[in-house]
Amino acid sequence: MKKLAQLTTAAALTLALLAPVYAADSISGEVKKIDAAAGKVTLKHGPAKSLGMTEPMTMVYQVKDPALLNAVKVGDKVKFEAVEDSSGYTVTKIEKGK
Ligand SMILES: [Cu+2]
């Protein structure tokens, strides 16, 4: 148990170091389609002020790391974070919501 806690702390620290310096807002959405081969996910989501999206919408996002898609499947309610970059919008974090 203690060892697990240490591992979890190490993982959290690593993630914190890798995280962008700016804080992204977590957005609630639903997975509509997954294209793991292309590293893309289609998400339906509500307004996302941090991305300049004021209306609910369904759109395709690139995924920073295709492995992120292993944690979710079509139909899942999710929380995600995304950034806008030269190639469009990229999901940097996604997890199953409750
Ligand atoms: Cu959008």
Task: Look up the CATH number of the domain holding residue 68.
Answer: 2.40.50.320
pLDDT at 97: 87
Query: Is 63 contained in some domain?
Result: yes
Percent of the chain with pLDDT over 90: 67
Q: Assess if residue 46 is contained within a domain.
A: yes
pLDDT value, residue 28? 95
d(CA 19, CA 58): 26
Q: What is the band of 8 on the pLDDT scale with cuts at 50, 70, 90?
A: low
With bands split at pLDDT 50, 70 and 90, how would you rate the model's confidence at 87?
A: confident
Query: What are the φ and ψ backbone dihedral angles of 94, each rounded to 5 degrees?
Result: -150, 135
**Secondary structure class of 62 (helix, strand, coil):** strand
Residue range 68-75: mean pLDDT, rounded: 96
Cα(43) to centroid(ligand 1), Å: 8
Long-range contacts (CB closer than 8 Å, 24 or more residues apart) made by 82-85: 82/24, 82/27, 82/48, 82/51, 83/20, 83/24, 84/51, 84/52
If one compares 4 and 87, the residue with the highest pLDDT of the two is: 87
Instruction: Indicate the number of domains in the chain.
Output: 1
Residue 49 belongs to domain spanning: 25-96
Among 51, 47, 96, smallest CA distance to 74 is for 96
Q: How far is the CA of 18 from the centre of ligand 1 (A)?
A: 24
